[in-house]
A = this chain, B = another copy of it.
């Protein structure tokens, strides 16, 4: 797989699950569809579980299922669960020699945060259930 494939894998899996939310899917099944490894699947879906989007069960008939209905999960939920960020927060100890430099640095960071928030707002407008739709 390529870089930054976690969001892609997560959305693919969730929208696939949205077709039949009652069905339980194993990591191996999902990995087969996504062309990757079961452990990788568990790593990514584990984050979604921590965020309350999925549940997992051990044992004979275990596997993964949606913790909410697919029309109650937005792309923002997924994005934030994966802790992806547009740019590194660059908290480089802020030891700017000049105060003007420091102020500028603060402003750039502020602008980027505003943009990031706009992105999250946009992601919150799309539901998992809408991916299949059209």
Name A's B-contacting residues (CB within 8 A): 1-5, 7-8, 11-12, 15-16, 33, 35, 75, 86-88, 90, 92, 101, 104-105, 107-108, 111-112, 115, 118-119, 122-123, 126, 130-132
User: What are 16 A-to-B residue pairs whose CB atoms are below 8 Å?
Assistant: A1-B90, A1-B92, A3-B88, A4-B87, A7-B112, A8-B88, A11-B111, A11-B112, A15-B104, A15-B107, A86-B86, A104-B132, A108-B131, A111-B130, A115-B122, A115-B126
- Quick one: copies of this chain in the complex? 2
Q: A8 with B87: in contact, given A111-B131, A132-B107 (CB under 8 Å)?
A: yes
**Cα distance A104–B17 when bound, in Å?**
11
